[in-house]
């Protein structure tokens, strides 16, 4: 069997309340809190970026289970905020863990780059090409100040190590669904992304998640009630419940993996971190459906079964997702701008 | 090894000398010392120049040759080179000059120190000075030089209960003395409140606990003691010249409240000069940060460890007290052109030993001690001077 | 553009790798090729040794006048941290209010951006320290 051998997440400690952002732009706090279902979002410190978050997430995974660097055969890092446009985050990860013989590369597909990394690594393990592989989804995303996306664009990441030995969560199967749909994009040289407003809903998020979910459930022969948990991509606190309802899932199945109301949308980290939150509490035999969505557009869906091995696995060796969500330091809008370097450049 | 004396001394005023360049300052100090000794270029047999960072401040290296050249010594082809030990550069140069004469190799030697620091903005000066610490493992991670001094202070306060108000007595005393020194960078007194309320540099040290950025130069002429009286009626004997070293980083040391380099250089100096702390009539202590001066006074045996501040509290450190401290104004008020300071401290002591210090003269001064430090008390150089 | 000088130290800075002298067992950080206690006996024999990243604050300061490149982080906390393995390390304390920092505070190392060579140059990563929440909570409820 091929599946997740260990996992770890990292969420920066800083938060800003959406009510504080609303105050700045003359919005009523009810708009983000009730309309979007987001109370606060995570803010990276000015010395954090997608690479540092990736390293911390991976170190948390390795605290739970140590895999030596020379057994790591692949490293794929998915993000839409890699620190360099040219110079991969994956090579930094390789250096940090000492995996000098790994197939390494960075991936981009908006918010589904992290799950695309998982699929690549899963395939290489399944093919017998590598023993273990690291897949990371990490982001320090930004929205244009004053734009709706600024209520949700946040920072965080999760690392999975996938292999064949002592698997704690077997990946039974994975499928994808992709079309050319320009719901949200950023042209080269632009600082902030643009989006199609309401076009990002039905033709983008809902169409691709529903398609990928249905394709997978038909392929493996399951229905929503076969799953203990489902994790959807979560651009706000509402969409996952809506798409879940349309597919036939209940709120209880969705709740554990829905983090956006407190930490915002961690983009490439969103679905992976939701899955991490589920693994924090899952028991042997639990079945999980995870479906990501990346604008542009596509969805990756995973059918996962938790194994008995999770009882021997030391989850407590690293912070759990909901514990990290609760460890907070709130900042005001001015500190938020300073951290996000949105103040016109200071001459260093 | 024969005994060595100082037969001439001179220095520039310390301050912001917008009109004067590095070589202007060096030449001014050098010529003053030569005139004071009554000798000419042909008499000099070697030149040792102390300078920390001309290469960074003004993009000029080869400082020894430059100073010799512009002091008019180019045609004499004498040996001339720079000695560097961060903020102890010129005291280290003096040690080198001392060895040159004591060994018998040279008779008349010119030793000087110079630094031109004000050609760059403050942030860059801070960065260059940080080169006295460990660039890769202290400065790279964010520690400025004052931050290192502040961590020494914070630890001392933790171990001995020293308060910031107590520590602030030292810059007040330094400024009281500087106000009497017409060559000092700052010639005004300051109050305790002004010290405490000054802008914070690195908590708990404010701007007033840290020495300023100054330009300046200082020089002395050395001769064998046995012929010194040929040149001057008041030659001053170098009774001791010692140097000691320590780990460059604070994090490598077992303690932040004492300095092995000062303690050991001090002990060697007392032994060499056959003196004890109670024999010293005045001291020039390296107060780049007040905490360094405090630890220095203790390490040199003037007070028990942890009790040094009592000297300040009991008024002993004033120029008419039991242990006149930094009567020149010290690094804090006289100024700190880093490469010049060490020799400048010696020039000050020479003035007192010759009874030529004017308003701030320490009465009956016969023996003086200069304590010059490089980095965070990494290199310590001690000179004990005595009337002959 | 400064490249090799920082690249050379990357492994030691990413993973807090120091050296250990096999003669006397002393651990050093940053790494040394010569043991100060054993001198030439240690040359060529020093072994790499990774610190756990745990430690306690030995002394600290709040820096208001920054090192070049740290202007954005003013004021920031610098500290000397003593580690259970022996060496002390100089590093920044982050994710904390300056008022909370005290001598003896348990901290642990994290991976952060330290500096960058301007907007177009290489980013230098390395270690900083955050409060060791688990340790602090353990001390709070014994």
- For B62-78, the pLDDT digits (tens) are 999 999 999 888 889 99
Q: What is the DSSP string of A73-133?
A: EEEEEE-S--S-SSS-HHHHHHHHHT-TT-EEEEE-BTBTHHHHHHHHHHHHHHTTS-SEE
pLDDT of A155 higher than 90: yes
- Interface confidence (ipTM) of the complex: 0.94
B339 token code pair = 């490469």
Please check whether residue C9 touches B, CB under 8 A: yes
- Evaluate whether residue C17 is within a structural domain: no
CA distance C53 to A66: 16
A48, C71: Cβ pair inside 8 Å?
no
Please check whether residue C120 touches B, CB under 8 A: no
Closest approach of A298 to chain C, Cα-based (Å): 32
Residue B39: name the closest of B216, B219, B218 by CA. B219
The tally of domains found in chain C comes to: 1
Residue ranges of chain B that CATH labels 3.40.47.10: 4-121+214-237, 128-211+239-387
The question of whether A111 is a catalytic residue gets the answer yes
C71 vs A contacts (CB less than 8 Å): 346, 348
- Averaged pLDDT, B339-367: 97
C53 within 8 A of C109, measured Cβ to Cβ: yes
- A185-194 long-range Cβ contacts below 8 angstroms, 24+ apart: A185/A295, A185/A296, A186/A80, A191/A142, A192/A142, A192/A143, A192/A144, A192/A147, A193/A143, A193/A144, A193/A149
Candidates C99, C125, C134, partner chain A, best to mutate (most A CBs within 10 A): C125
- The CATH number of B4-121+214-237, from 3.40.50.300, 3.40.140.10, 3.40.47.10, 3.40.50.720, is 3.40.47.10
Report the pLDDT value the prediction gives residue B41, as an integer from 0 to 100.
Answer: 85
- Evaluate whether residue C76 is within a structural domain: yes
The question of whether A46 is a catalytic residue gets the answer no
- Evaluate whether residue C73 is within a structural domain: yes
- Evaluate whether residue C45 is within a structural domain: no
Report the pLDDT value the prediction gives residue B74, as an integer from 0 to 100.
Answer: 87
- Averaged pLDDT, A308-336: 97
pLDDT of A78 higher than 90: yes
Structure pTM? Answer: 0.93
- Evaluate whether residue C134 is within a structural domain: yes
Please check whether residue C64 touches B, CB under 8 A: yes
Q: What residue in A sits closest to C17 (Cα-Cα)? A: A96
Task: Pick the more confident residue, C129 or B122.
Answer: C129
B143 vs C contacts (CB less than 8 Å): 63, 67, 78, 90
pLDDT of A345 higher than 70: no
Residues of B with CB under 8 A from a CB of C: 122-124, 126-127, 130, 136-144, 146-147, 150-152, 154-155, 158, 199-205, 247, 249-252, 256
Q: What is the DSSP string of C59-98?
A: EEEEESSPPTT-GGG-SEEEEEEE-TTS-EEEEEE-SS-G
Token pair 């995303």: residue: A141
Closest approach of C37 to chain A, Cα-based (Å): 31
Report the pLDDT value the prediction gives residue B280, as an integer from 0 to 100.
Answer: 98
pLDDT digits (tens, 9 = 90+) for B91-132: 999 999 999 999 999 999 999 999 999 999 988 999 999 999
Candidates A47, A66, A343, partner chain C, best to mutate (most C CBs within 10 A): A47
B89 within 8 A of B26, measured Cβ to Cβ: no
A83 vs C contacts (CB less than 8 Å): 123
A96, C15: Cβ pair inside 8 Å?
yes
A346, C71: Cβ pair inside 8 Å?
yes
A175 within 8 A of A301, measured Cβ to Cβ: yes
- Residue A43 belongs to what H/E stretch? strand A40-43
- Evaluate whether residue C96 is within a structural domain: yes
pLDDT digits (tens, 9 = 90+) for B164-206: 999 999 999 999 999 999 999 999 999 999 999 999 999 999 9
pLDDT of A348 higher than 60: no
Report the pLDDT value the prediction gives residue C58, as an integer from 0 to 100.
Answer: 98
C59, B151: Cβ pair inside 8 Å?
yes
Q: Which residues of B are marked as active site?
A: 87, 336
Interface of C with B in 10-29 (CB under 8 A): none
C90, B130: Cβ pair inside 8 Å?
no
| Check whether domain B128-211+239-387 has CATH 3.40.47.10, yes or no | yes
- Evaluate whether residue C46 is within a structural domain: no
Residue B178: name the closest of B296, B308, B356, B331 by CA. B331
C113, A95: Cβ pair inside 8 Å?
no
Closest approach of C78 to chain B, Cα-based (Å): 6
CA distance B317 to B323: 5
Which CATH number covers residue C114? 2.40.50
């Amino acid at each position: 069997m091929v599946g997740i051998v260990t996992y770890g997440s990292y969420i920066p400690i800083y938060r800003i309340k959406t009510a504080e952002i609303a105050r700045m732009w003359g919005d009523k706090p009810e708009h983000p809190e009730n309309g979007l279902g987001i109370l606060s979002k995570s803010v990276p410190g000015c010395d954090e970026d997608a690479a540092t978050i990736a390293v911390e997430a991976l170190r948390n995974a390795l605290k739970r289970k140590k895999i030596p660097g020379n057994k790591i055969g692949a490293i794929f890092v998915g993000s839409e905020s890699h620190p360099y446009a040219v110079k991969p985050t994956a090579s930094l990860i390789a250096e940090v863990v000492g995996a000098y013989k790994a197939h390494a590369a960075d991936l981009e597909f908006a918010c589904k780059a992290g799950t695309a990394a998982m699929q690549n690594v899963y395939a290489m393990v399944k093919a017998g090409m590598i023993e273990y592989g690291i897949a990371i989804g990490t982001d320090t995303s930004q929205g244009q100040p004053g734009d709706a996306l600024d209520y949700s664009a946040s920072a965080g990441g999760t690392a999975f190590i996938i292999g064949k030995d002592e698997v704690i969560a077997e990946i039974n199967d994975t499928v994808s669904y992709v079309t050319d749909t320009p719901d949200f994009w950023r042209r080269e040289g632009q600082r902030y992304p643009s989006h199609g407003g309401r076009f990002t809903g039905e033709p983008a998020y809902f169409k691709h998640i529903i398609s990928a979910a249905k394709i997978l459930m038909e392929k493996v022969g399951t229905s929503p009630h076969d799953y203990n948990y489902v994790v959807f991509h979560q651009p706000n606190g509402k969409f996952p419940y809506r798409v879940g309802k349309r597919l036939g899932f209940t709120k209880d199945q969705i709740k554990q993996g829905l983090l956006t109301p407190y930490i915002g949308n961690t983009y490439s980290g969103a679905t992976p971190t939701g899955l991490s939150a589920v693994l924090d509490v899952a028991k042997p035999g639990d079945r999980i459906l995870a479906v990501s969505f990346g604008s542009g557009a596509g969805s990756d869906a995973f059918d996962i079964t938790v194994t008995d091995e999770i009882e021997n696995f030391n989850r407590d060796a690293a912070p759990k997702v909901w514990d990290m969500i609760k460890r907070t330091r709130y900042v005001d809008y001015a500190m938020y701008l300073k951290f996000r370097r949105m103040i016109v450049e200071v001459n260093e | 090894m024969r005994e060595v004396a100082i037969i001439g001394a001179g220095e520039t005023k310390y301050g912001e000398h917008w009109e004067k360049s590095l070589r202007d300052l060096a030449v001014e100090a050098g010529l003053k010392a030569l005139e004071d000794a009554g000798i000419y270029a042909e008499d000099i047999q070697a030149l040792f120049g102390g300078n920390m960072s001309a290469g960074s401040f003004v993009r000029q290296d080869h400082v020894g040759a430059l100073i010799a050249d512009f002091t008019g010594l180019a045609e004499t082809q004498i040996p001339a080179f720079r000695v560097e030990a961060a903020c102890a550069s010129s005291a280290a140069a003096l040690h080198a000059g001392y060895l040159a004469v004591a060994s018998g190799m040279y008779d008349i030697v010119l030793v000087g120190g110079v630094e031109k620091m004000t050609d760059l903005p403050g942030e860059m000066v801070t960065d260059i000075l940080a080169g006295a610490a460990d660039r890769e493992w202290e400065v790279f991670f964010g520690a400025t030089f004052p931050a290192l001094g502040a961590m020494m202070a914070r630890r001392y306060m933790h171990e001995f209960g020293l308060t910031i108000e107590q520590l602030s007595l030292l810059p007040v005393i330094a400024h009281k003395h500087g106000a009497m020194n017409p060559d000092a960078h700052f010639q005004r007194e300051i109050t305790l409140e002004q010290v405490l309320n000054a802008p914070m540099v690195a908590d708990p040290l404010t701007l007033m606990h840290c020495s300023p950025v100054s330009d300046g130069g200082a020089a002395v002429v050395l001769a064998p003691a046995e012929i010194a009286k040929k040149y001057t009626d008041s030659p001053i004997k170098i009774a001791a010249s010692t140097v000691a070293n320590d780990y460059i980083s604070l994090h490598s040391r077992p303690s932040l409240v004492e300095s092995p380099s000062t303690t050991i250089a001090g002990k060697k100096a007392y032994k060499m000069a056959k003196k004890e702390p109670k024999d010293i009539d005045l001291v020039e202590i390296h107060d780049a940060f007040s905490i360094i001066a405090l630890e220095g006074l203790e390490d040199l045996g003037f007070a028990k460890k942890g009790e040094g501040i009592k000297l300040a509290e009991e008024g002993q450190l004033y120029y008419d007290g039991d242990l006149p401290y930094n009567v020149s104004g010290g690094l804090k008020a006289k100024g700190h052109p880093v490469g010049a300071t060490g020799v400048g401290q010696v020039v000050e002591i020479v003035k007192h030993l010759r009874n030529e210090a004017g308003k701030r003269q320490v009465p009956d001064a016969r023996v003086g001690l200069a304590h010059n430090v490089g980095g965070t008390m990494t290199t310590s150089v001690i000179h004990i001077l005595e009337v002959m | 553009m400064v490249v090799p000088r920082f690249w050379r130290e990357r492994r030691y800075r990413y993973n807090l790798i120091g050296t250990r002298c096999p003669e006397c067992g002393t651990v050093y950080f940053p790494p040394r090729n010569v043991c100060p206690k054993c001198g030439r006996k240690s040359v060529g024999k020093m072994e790499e040794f990774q610190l756990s990243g745990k430690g306690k604050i030995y002394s600290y300061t709040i820096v208001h006048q920054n090192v070049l490149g740290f202007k954005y982080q003013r004021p920031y906390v610098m500290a000397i941290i003593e580690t259970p393995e022996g060496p002390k390390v100089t590093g920044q304390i982050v994710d904390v209010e300056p008022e909370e920092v005290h001598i003896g505070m348990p901290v642990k190392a994290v991976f952060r951006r330290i500096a960058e060579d301007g907007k177009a140059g290489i980013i230098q990563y390395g270690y900083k320290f955050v409060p060791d929440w688990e340790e602090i909570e353990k001390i709070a409820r014994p």
